[in-house]
Amino acid sequence: MNDYNIETFERHIVDQQHKKHPDAQGDFSWLLSGIVLACKIIGEEVRRLGLSDSRGTAGSDNVHGEEQQKLDVFANQVLMECLGSRGNVGLLASEEDEDPIVVLENPDQGEYIVVFDPLDGSSNIDVNVSVGTIFSVFRRSRANGDSFDEEVLQCGHQQLAAGYVLYGSSTMMVYTIGQGVHGFTLDPTIGTFVLTHPNLEIPERGTIYSVNESYADGFPPYCRRFLHWVKSGEDDMLYRSRYIGSLVADFHRTLFKGGIFLYPPTSFFPQGKLRLVYEANPIAFLAEQAGGVATNGDERILQLQPAALHERVPLFVGSSFEMNKLHAFIQRPLKV
- Residue 312 DSSP label: B
**Between 98 and 234, whose beta carbon lies closer to ligand P6P?**
98
Binding flag, residue 57, ligand P6P (CB under 6 A): no
| CA nearest neighbour of 279 among 129, 148, 116, 155 | 116
Cα–Cα distance for residue pair 271/315, rounded to 1 Å: 9
Kindly state the smallest distance separating residue 283's Cβ from ligand P6P, in Å: 10
- When binding is defined by CB under 6 A, the residue of 90, 118, 121, 314 that contacts ligand P6P is 121
How many residues can be counted in the chain? Answer: 336
User: Are the C-beta atoms of residues 44 and 54 closer than 8 Å to each other?
Assistant: no
172: β partners: 166, 185
Question: Is the C-alpha dihedral spanning 320, 302, 76, 27 positive or negative?
Answer: positive
- When binding is defined by CB under 6 A, the residue of 17, 86, 90, 120 that contacts ligand P6P is 120
**Between 121 and 306, whose beta carbon lies closer to ligand P6P?**
121
- When binding is defined by CB under 6 A, the residue of 19, 245, 308, 335 that contacts ligand P6P is 245
**Residues 268-297, interacting with ligand P6P (CB under 6 A):** 273
- Coil, strand or helix: which one is 41? helix
CB neighbours of 57 closer than 8 A, spacing ≥ 6?
A: 67, 68, 69, 70
**Residues 19-38, interacting with ligand P6P (CB under 6 A):** none
How many chain residues interact with ligand P6P (CB under 6 A)? 9
Kindly state the smallest distance separating residue 292's Cβ from ligand P6P, in Å: 17
184: β partners: 173, 195
Kindly state the smallest distance separating residue 169's Cβ from ligand P6P, in Å: 18
**Between 246 and 319, whose beta carbon lies closer to ligand P6P?**
246
Instruction: Please report, as ranges, the residues that interact with ligand P6P according to CB under 6 A.
Output: 120-121, 123, 212, 245-247, 250, 273
